[in-house]
Amino acid sequence: MVSPWPFAQWGLDLIRPMPEGKGQVKYAVVAVDYFTKWAEAEALATITAARIESFVWQSIAILSPMAKWKP
């Protein structure tokens, strides 16, 4: 994929329940920025709108390599 604008091509996926791990986590949320080929993932015990919003803001909007990008 080729995109002239950062974050023009990115995806967010939820992975179905897996065997329960430490901290009773059994789901995963994965974000991929196809512009930079950068990925971020986090294990979750439950899927809630607040938890997904927190993941997006913390992992994508703040920590992304493109967050500091200036044209």
Distance, in Å, from the CA atom of 6 to the CA atom of 21, rounded to the nearest integer, reads 34
Strands (E), 4-55: 10-15, 27-33, 38-44
Structure tokens at 36: 């930079």
CA distances from 65 to 18, 26, 59 (A): 29, 28, 10
Q: Give per-residue pLDDT as tens, 9-46.
A: 778 899 989 888 888 999 999 988 887 788 889 999 99
Phi, psi of 26 (to 5 degrees): -145, 0
Q: What per-residue confidence (pLDDT) applies to 7?
A: 55
Q: Going from the N-terminus, what domains does the chain have, and what CATH number goes with each?
A: 10-62 (3.30.420.10)
Q: Give per-residue pLDDT as tens, 58-69.
A: 877 666 555 555
